[in-house]
């Protein structure tokens, strides 16, 4: 029932080879009854016009002549989901543990564009993922930003180099590797931050668990004027008050039915402090939505939860100019749900990545 067949036959999805001149595909017009707005609220719907892979208008224009039209009664359009911490395509290949500091390692080097997990991610409504180096190193390397589908029906890296991944928790301090103390690591870290001149738009992703790990990470990044996003900062209620104004956001997840309430209420605590929350679930859209739903049931307001699936992670990755919200001019990464994206009873009707349809629910 839930199986979503790939509609490869849609003319816009099967593009010409890379060397061919830019296509001029027919515009696509999708009618929905609601649109998730930039503030996370669900606003009125209308026709969404997509042309040349970009959103041309939302609710203001009628379908242009020659457009492929789709209508979804009760459908709600939302930006494609963005997951900032995945290891899609090559699980276990994103850690290089021989050294504590491996800033030159790039997750892009382990990227496999044709891996089926990217297609699965796209079908589940995830349109952008970051491949993230593992937690074995203090500095684990650079993230790779991947669109789950491109014009040639494969995943594609679309900007480089990505932000750095840091691990400030005990996983990065094995007994038999230098530096052995946090002050030794801090000295190296400051040196690295001072010398790292790579221009990256996004926030560095920092794993830190305990309150004091968070405090020192914030100190180091604030001193070098670097934006950072914290990854899974559980066990750190004392340090949450330090985050406003200093952390770009916090990334949590995945949650499931067994996740302790102590963890599931963290998004609400952060929202109360006006700290942005992004959800992560290794690129699985269903798991991302479950994570958001559980966060909402644990107190998070629905608007923040919707943004946590889309615009917050896009901002953390520095691609918010192009993705993360539905606005004219942005890339047409959009998902049509049968209702509120947060409702688990609702299923995905259609997914477009860069204007190309990846998945469309079978209509009986």
Q: Among 302, 308, 318, 356, which residue interacts with other proteins (rule: CB under 8 A)?
A: 302
Closest distance to other proteins from the beta carbon of 2 (Å): 6
Site membership for other proteins, residue 91 (CB under 8 A): no
Exposure of 272 in the CB half-sphere (CA atoms within 13 A)? 11
The minimum distance between CB 308 and other proteins, in angstroms, equals 13
| Token pair in block for residue 10 | 């849609």
Contact pick of 9, 73, 183, 225 for other proteins (by CB under 8 A): 183
Q: What number of helices (H) and strands (E) belong to the chain?
A: 8, 18
**Backbone CA torsion sign across 294, 296, 302, 307:** negative
Minimum distance between the CB of residue 299 and other proteins, rounded to whole angstroms? 10
Q: Does 182 contact other proteins by CB under 8 A?
A: yes
Chain-centre distance for alpha carbon 241: 25
Binds other proteins by CB under 8 A, chosen from 39, 60, 180, 272: 180
Compare residues 12 and 138 and give the one whose CB is closer to other proteins: 138
Residue 215 touching other proteins (CB under 8 A): yes
Task: Provide the token pair at 297.
Answer: 């049931």
- What does the alpha-carbon distance between residue 187 and residue 207 come to, in Å, rounded to a whole number? 18
Q: Find tokens 């560095």 and name the residue.
A: 204
For the record, the structure tokens of 341 come out as 């994206």
Measured at the CA of 244, the angle between CA 250 and CA 195, to 5 degrees, comes to: 70
Binding to other proteins by residue 20, rule CB under 8 A? no
Planar angle of CA 340, 292, 226, nearest 5 degrees: 120
Q: How far apart are CA 217 and CA 224, in angstroms?
A: 11
Q: Looking only at residues 343 through 362 of this chain, which bind other proteins when binding is defined by CB under 8 A?
A: 343-347
Q: For residues 310 and 319, what is the distance between their CA atoms, to the nearest angstrom?
A: 11
CA dist 147 to 6, 154, 214, 235, 248, Å? 17, 9, 30, 33, 22
Counted residue by residue, the chain has a size of 364
Q: Does 104 bind other proteins (CB under 8 A)?
A: no
Size of the site for other proteins (CB under 8 A): 52
Is the Cβ of residue 61 or residue 186 nearer to other proteins in the bound state? 186
Q: Considering the complex, what minimum distance in angstroms separates the CB of residue 121 from other proteins?
A: 13
Report the residue from 242, 323, 351, 353 that binds other proteins according to the rule CB under 8 A.
Answer: 242
Q: Between residues 98 and 197, which has the closer beta carbon with respect to other proteins? A: 98
Choose, by CB under 8 A, the member of 30, 293, 351, 357 that binds other proteins.
293
Q: Are 49 and 64 in contact (CB under 8 A)?
A: yes
Question: Considering only residues 39, 114, 238, 362, which one is a binding residue for other proteins as defined by CB under 8 A?
Answer: 238
Q: From the CB of 183, what's the least distance to other proteins, in Å?
A: 4
Residue 181 touching other proteins (CB under 8 A): yes
The smaller minimum CB distance to other proteins, of residues 73 and 258, is found at 258
Say whether residue 195 binds other proteins (CB under 8 A).
no
Stretch that binds other proteins, among 47-55, 206-214, 268-276, 311-319 (CB under 8 A): 206-214
Query: Which residues touch 266 (CB under 8 Å, ≥6 apart)?
Result: 233, 234, 250, 252
What count of other Cβ atoms lies within 10 Å of the Cβ of residue 241? Answer: 10
Which residues form the interface with other proteins (CB under 8 A)? 1-2, 98-99, 124, 170, 173, 175-187, 210-212, 215-216, 238-239, 242, 254, 256-261, 286-287, 290, 292-294, 296-297, 302, 305, 340, 342-347
């Amino acid at each position: 029932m839930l199986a979503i067949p790939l509609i490869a036959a849609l003319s816009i999805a099967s593009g010409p080879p890379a060397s061919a001149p830019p296509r001029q595909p027919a515009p696509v017009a999708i009618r929905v009854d609601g649109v998730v707005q930039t503030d996370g609220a669900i606003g009125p719907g209308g026709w969404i016009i997509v042309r040349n892979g970009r959103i041309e208008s939302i609710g203001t224009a009628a379908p242009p002549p020659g457009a492929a039209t789709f209508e979804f009664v009760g459908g709600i359009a939302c930006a494609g989901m963005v997951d900032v911490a995945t290891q899609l395509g090559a699980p276990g290949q994103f850690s290089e543990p021989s050294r504590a500091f491996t800033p030159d390692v790039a997750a892009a080097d382990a990227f496999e564009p044709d891996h089926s997990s990217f297609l699965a991610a796209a079908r589940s409504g995830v349109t952008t993922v970051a491949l993230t180096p593992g937690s074995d190193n203090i500095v684990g390397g650079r993230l790779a930003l991947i669109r789950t589908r491109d014009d040639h029906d494969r995943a594609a890296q679309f900007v480089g180099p990505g932000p750095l991944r840091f691990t400030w928790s005990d996983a990065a301090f094995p007994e038999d590797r230098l530096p052995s103390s946090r002050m030794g690591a801090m000295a190296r870290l400051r040196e690295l931050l001072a010398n790292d001149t790579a221009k990256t738009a996004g926030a560095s992703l920092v794993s830190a668990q305990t309150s004091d790990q968070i405090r020192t990470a914030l100190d180091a990044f604030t001193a070098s004027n670097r934006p950072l996003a914290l990854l899974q900062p559980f066990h750190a209620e004392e340090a949450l008050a330090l985050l406003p104004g200093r952390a770009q956001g916090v990334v949590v997840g995945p949650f499931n039915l067994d996740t302790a309430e102590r963890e599931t209420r963290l998004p609400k605590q952060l929202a109360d402090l006006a700290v942005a929350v992004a959800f992560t679930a290794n690129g699985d859209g269903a798991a991302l939505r479950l994570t958001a739903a559980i966060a909402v049931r644990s107190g998070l307001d629905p608007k923040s939860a919707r943004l946590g699936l889309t615009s917050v992670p896009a901002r953390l990755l520095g691609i918010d100019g192009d993705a993360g919200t539905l606005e004219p001019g942005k890339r047409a990464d959009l998902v049509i749900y049968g209702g509120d994206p947060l409702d688990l009873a609702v299923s995905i009707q259609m997914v477009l990545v860069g204007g190309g349809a990846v998945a469309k629910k079978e209509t009986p």
